[in-house]
Amino acid sequence: MKIRSALIICLCAAATAQAKVVTKTIEYKDGETALKGYLAWDDALKGKSPGILIVHEFWGLNDHARKQADRLAELGYVAFALDMYGDGMATDDPHKAGEMAGRFRQDKKLLIARAKAGLNVLLKNENVNSSKIAAIGYCFGGSTVLQLALSGADLAGVVSFHGGLGGIQYEPGTKVTAKILVLHGADDPMIPADQITAFQDTLRKANADWEMNYYGNAVHSFTNESAAKANIKGVAYHKPTAERSWQAMRDFFAEIFGS
């Protein structure tokens, strides 16, 4: 019995050793703008896997976004953290980040085009099942994936983590096919109640399939372990909500991908 148990342990260890998350910087373009995204996948998986597009916070393509891509790859997805700003740019300066994100908030066509450029990278990947694509985003990235969904992008679903909800636009007549999950800190001071009401009204006008989870004691950027470094009031990591919202995303993916 001891020999058999030891053999089972060895076989399991060998299988684990063969599984490896591989990452790669992907250079691509939106028009004349050079972009650098971050791709992650498990090279032990066979066949095509669902693809997940990740849109970063207003800080740019930083370690937080790359970490989410790695975690998704560990779950068996092909994950691509896109670059909204160009050249893989990221900053720790909130004023600079606000300037970079502000350009896209004022120009929805540019925001959608830049997000779709990243989506196209994922669609063209040989390991991706192009009929099973979702997008997730954080803060600025959350509002980006919500806007992408309401633009009629061909996605199975989108997930917004502590996303901005103001100014999300819907063009009447646009068919919204992506299911929408909004994961929101109930005590987030960045998102006033009237913004939430206006956003939900927009979803109703779009006849979208949506749900919104509120998490008590959570404020803005509740998924980012480094959030406190910004020293911004109302911005903080909240471990219980980070874990619960991640599980909510996993359950959502199981629903939209059928597994």
CA distance 157 to 96: 31
CA dihedral 220, 116, 25, 228 (to 10 degrees): -10
Query: pLDDT tens for residues 129-162?
Result: 999 999 999 999 999 999 999 999 999 999 999 9
Percentage of residues in the chain having pLDDT higher than 90? 92
Q: Is beta strand 210-215 parallel, antiparallel or unpaired with respect to 179-185?
A: parallel
Residue 203 confidence (pLDDT) above 80: yes
Q: Which amino acid is at 33?
A: T
What is the mean pLDDT of the segment spanning 103-123?
Answer: 97
Backbone angles phi, psi at 61, to 5 degrees: -75, 90
Query: pLDDT tens for residues 53-102?
Result: 999 999 999 999 999 999 999 999 999 999 999 999 999 999 999 999 99
What Cα–Cα distance (Å) separates residue 169 from each residue in 1, 81, 105, 106, 174?
64, 24, 11, 11, 11
Tell me, what's the pLDDT at 19? 66
pTM of the model as a whole: 0.93
Query: pLDDT tens for residues 5-61?
Result: 444 444 444 444 456 899 999 999 999 999 999 999 999 999 999 999 999 999 999
What Cα–Cα distance (Å) separates residue 117 from each residue in 37, 123, 181, 182, 226?
11, 10, 22, 23, 28
Query: pLDDT tens for residues 212-240?
Result: 999 999 999 999 999 999 999 999 999 99
CA distance 223 to 227: 8
Domain boundaries, the chain: 19-257
Tell me, what's the pLDDT at 18? 57
Torsion-angle region of residue 121: left (phi > 0), alpha (psi -120 to 50) or beta?
alpha
CATH architecture of the domain covering 19-257: 3-Layer(aba) Sandwich (3.40)
Q: What is the mean pLDDT of the chain?
A: 93
Tell me, what's the pLDDT at 53? 99
